[in-house]
Amino acid sequence: MDNAIEVRNLVKRYITYERKGFLTKVKRIVEALKGIDFDVKRGEIFGLLGPNGAG
């Protein structure tokens, strides 16, 4: 069966800013996902759920 979706090496980064004093902010990069691979075949039902059950 053919894959409907193929995902390889998925990475998601968020930029956050941390306050360091009154006028100074430091930029931080947070990696939420790193190196995720998955396939979804045609006709397959696929879902992603978080720790609280939200998807």
Q: Which residue has the higher pLDDT, 51 or 54?
A: 51
Amino acid at 7: V
Instruction: Kindly report, residue by residue over 20-44, the tens digit of the pLDDT.
Output: 888 899 999 999 889 999 999 999 9
Domain ranges in the chain are 3-41
| pTM above threshold 0.75 | no
What is the predicted pLDDT for the residue at 1?
A: 61
Q: Which residue has the higher pLDDT, 52 or 55?
A: 52
- Residues β-bridged to residue 14: 30
With 70 as the cut, is the pLDDT of residue 4 above it?
yes
With 70 as the cut, is the pLDDT of residue 55 above it?
no
What is the predicted pLDDT for the residue at 27?
A: 94
Report which DSSP code applies to 53. S
CA-CA distance, 39 to 19, in Å (whole number)? 40
Phi, psi of 43 (to 5 degrees): 85, -5
